[in-house]
Amino acid sequence: MKPRRQCELGGAPTKKSVVEGVSIMVSANPVILEMRSITKEFPGVKALSEVSITVRASEIHSICGENGAGKSTLMKVLSGVYPFGSYDGEIVFQNSVCEFKDIRASENAGIVIIHQELALIPELSITENIFLGNEPTKFGVINWAEARLRTMELMARVGLNEDPDTPVKEIGVGKQQLVEIAKALNKSVKLLILDEPTAALNESDSQHLLDLIRGLKSKGISCIMISHKLNEIEQVSDSITIIRDGKSIETLDVKADGVDEDRIIRGMVGRTLESRFPDHTPTIGEVFFEVKNWTVAHPQIADRLVCKNSNFNVRRGEIVGIAGLMGAGRTELARSIFGRSYGNYISGQIIKDGKEITLRNVPQAIKHGLGYVTEDRKTLGLNLLDDIKTTTVSANLGAISKNTVVDRDKEFSVAERYRKQLRTKAPSVEEGVAKLSGGNQQKVVLAKWMFTDPDLLILDEPTRGIDVGAKYEIYGIIQALANQGKGVIVISSELPELLGISDRIYTIFEGAITGVLDKNQASQETLMKRMTAATKSA
């Protein structure tokens, strides 16, 4: 019985959409969700103060704000993570006041949230994941045939072409995101909340996802999207609510108000950002770091090369960009150079200051003046149990210790110096890093590597998950490092960022370096062409 009901519900919006499709034109869609003066307090902090948003049916509504502005808190209130009673204000969904006591309650009402960190179980198949906790049963026995069949339908709806029995860990992040959406559709969702849906996706996967959201909209499913990628927001949103410091500042009608990225940023930071990148006149010296014929195999699959015969160099005082799609081998290249911390080294040379060096492990790499800031701050970059001072000195303990005994005064003053210099926002250097915002965490990580006094600092996605204001500061730090005569390599998925910060940009595709462009020759188009070059030639 139950499965059939689900199918009907899944199909129902299609009929409805005809009616609603018309009403979009007159832009008077009925209101589907209203959150009225939501106030949420944590001990000592007012995370949300009288925030109101209104979402209409068949609309993509984006919520913009800097990190810590309260976007995620608001979504947690809406989805019942913070149950009714733990906040003040009113939630009206489909004309009835809702008092969700947990996530299940909001899901039953048709509100499904997809978190940035996907809630899929890697070992289970697509089908098992989609029906997890919601398995079609007959006398308590799961009807897998039924589940599989419906998975195929759902996959067709989200444009996913995979065997439904494939374990989720074997498909890419982009496809995993689609599985999450299929899972939501299976719960007959009316309002889909996406928290940073494209943060981990490459350009084409992001585009597919955004198209899908648009498709869902035309089928009557509303969507609330949180994203730092303002170009995407501008591209797909019907309206945008801007939240700053826990207050709803304004709601912009994208079509009517002629909203562009600058307009959104102005709302988010409360001022006009003249430029997204600090001015910088590089003083570039000679080549001091060179990688030749670098070839590395995948750590598990011996005949798969993640770096193919790569050559590149870095000059003193230069910021070198590395552009490539996700999975092109950027991180693999960086980490294999940084003390072979990834993959199996096959061949290649590293030449620093005219001499060939061999970096067999991370301590050797650090000793030779290399630093690597990972793209995955939380799982690879930080010990979240540590405080700022322990983190700051953790890559160069030798400098603050004598006969292995740590000088805690020195530790404190070093950490304090970097906190002031990088303007890390924290009550003291004894604050736990887990409590800091993404931007401040990144500053602590940068401080950690600055304290090792590297000659070459490799930054892998240095501004991922960081808000606009903090990005500007991070760029300033990168430029200051280059001014000291250090070489900096910046790996990024965001081409505008690379174009804004780099002096020279290498492009990489399927593990091979496909070109190098000077700052003044490079544009998004020329880079993108080289980042996908091999596909066209193949």
Partner 1 sequence: MNIIKQLFSGNSRQFGMIFALVALVVFFQVRTDGLILTPDNVINLMNGYSYILVLAIGMVLVIIAGHIDLSVGSVAAFVGIVVALAMRDWGLPWYLGIIAGLALGAAIGAWQGFFVAYVGIPAFIVTLAGMLLFRGANQLFGDSLTIPVPKEFQAIGAGYLPEIGPNTGYNNLTLLIGILGVVALVWGEFRGRRKAVSLGSDVKPVWVPIFKVVVFAAVILYVTYLFATGRPGTSFPIPGIILGVLVLIYGFISSRTTIGRHVYAVGGNRHAAALSGVKSKRTDFMVMLNMSMLAGLAGMIFVARANASGPSDGVGWELDAIAAVFIGGAAVTGGVGTVMGSMIGGLVMAVLNNGLQLLGVGSDWTQIIKGLVLLAAVVFDVYNKSQGKASFIGFMMKKLGGNNNPDLEVAEPLKGTIKTEA
User: What are the tokens at 84?
Assistant: 């009714």
| Closer residue to partner 1 (CB): 402 or 536 | 402
User: What are the tokens at 4?
Assistant: 């059939």
CB of 310 to partner 1, least distance (A): 21
Are 490 and 287 contacting, i.e. CB atoms less than 8 angstroms apart?
no
| Closer residue to partner 1 (CB): 52 or 401 | 401
| Closer residue to partner 1 (CB): 72 or 241 | 72
Q: Does 85 bind partner 1 (CB under 8 A)?
A: no
Q: Does 406 bind partner 1 (CB under 8 A)?
A: yes
Q: Does 409 bind partner 1 (CB under 8 A)?
A: yes
Q: Does 383 bind partner 1 (CB under 8 A)?
A: yes
Q: How far, in Å, CA of 528 to CA of 246, rounded?
A: 38
Query: What is the SS3 string spanning 430-495?
Result: CCEHHHCCHHHHHHHHHHHHHCCCCCEEEEECCCCCCCHHHHHHHHHHHHHHHHCCCEEEEEECCH
Only segment of 179-187, 192-200, 364-372, 523-531 that touches partner 1 (CB under 8 A): 364-372
User: What are the tokens at 451?
Assistant: 């304290």
CB of 313 to partner 1, least distance (A): 24
Give helix then strand counts, H and E, for the chain: 19, 24
| Closer residue to partner 1 (CB): 309 or 341 | 341
| Closer residue to partner 1 (CB): 374 or 532 | 374
CB of 344 to partner 1, least distance (A): 16
Show contacts with partner 1 in window 34-73 (CB under 8 A): 43-44
| Closer residue to partner 1 (CB): 24 or 384 | 384
CB of 470 to partner 1, least distance (A): 21
| Closer residue to partner 1 (CB): 280 or 410 | 410
Only segment of 6-14, 172-180, 403-411, 486-494 that touches partner 1 (CB under 8 A): 403-411
Interface size with partner 1, residues (CB under 8 A) = 34
Figure out which of the listed residues 31, 287, 357, 384 binds partner 1, where binding follows CB under 8 A: 384
Q: Does 204 bind partner 1 (CB under 8 A)?
A: no
Question: In sequence order, what DSSP letters do the residues of 47-83 get, joined into one string?
Answer: EEEEEEEEEETT-EEEEE--TTSSHHHHHHHHTTSS-
Only segment of 82-90, 94-102, 375-383, 418-426 that touches partner 1 (CB under 8 A): 375-383
What sign does the CA torsion over 239, 244, 246, 250 have? negative
| Closer residue to partner 1 (CB): 155 or 489 | 489
Q: How far, in Å, CA of 236 to CA of 158, rounded?
A: 17
CB of 390 to partner 1, least distance (A): 7
On the 0-12 / 13-18 / 19+ scale of CB atoms within 10 A, 11 is exposed
Q: How far, in Å, CA of 400 to CA of 414, rounded?
A: 9
Are 421 and 458 contacting, i.e. CB atoms less than 8 angstroms apart?
no
CB of 402 to partner 1, least distance (A): 10
Figure out which of the listed residues 246, 381, 439, 454 binds partner 1, where binding follows CB under 8 A: 381
| Closer residue to partner 1 (CB): 42 or 163 | 42
CB of 435 to partner 1, least distance (A): 9
Show contacts with partner 1 in window 422-481 (CB under 8 A): 428, 448
Question: In sequence order, what DSSP letters do the residues of 361-423 get, joined into one string?
Answer: SHHHHHHTTEEEE-S-IIIII--TTSBHHHHHHTT-GGGGEETTEE-HHHHHHHHHHHHHHTT
CA distances from 5 to 105, 106, 127, 141, 150 (A): 19, 19, 18, 19, 12
Within 10 angstroms of residue 294's Cβ, the number of other Cβ atoms is: 22
Q: How far, in Å, CA of 251 to CA of 260, rounded?
A: 14
Are 251 and 475 contacting, i.e. CB atoms less than 8 angstroms apart?
no
CA distances from 528 to 368, 496, 536 (A): 34, 12, 12
Figure out which of the listed residues 413, 469, 515, 534 binds partner 1, where binding follows CB under 8 A: 413
Q: Does 366 bind partner 1 (CB under 8 A)?
A: yes
Residue span 318-357 as binding mask against partner 1, x where in contact by CB under 8 A, dash where not? --------------------x--x----------------
CB of 366 to partner 1, least distance (A): 5
Only segment of 202-210, 214-222, 257-265, 362-370 that touches partner 1 (CB under 8 A): 362-370
Positions touching partner 1 (CB under 8 A) are 43-44, 338, 341, 361-363, 365-366, 372, 374, 379-386, 390, 394-395, 397-398, 401, 404-406, 408-409, 412-413, 428, 448
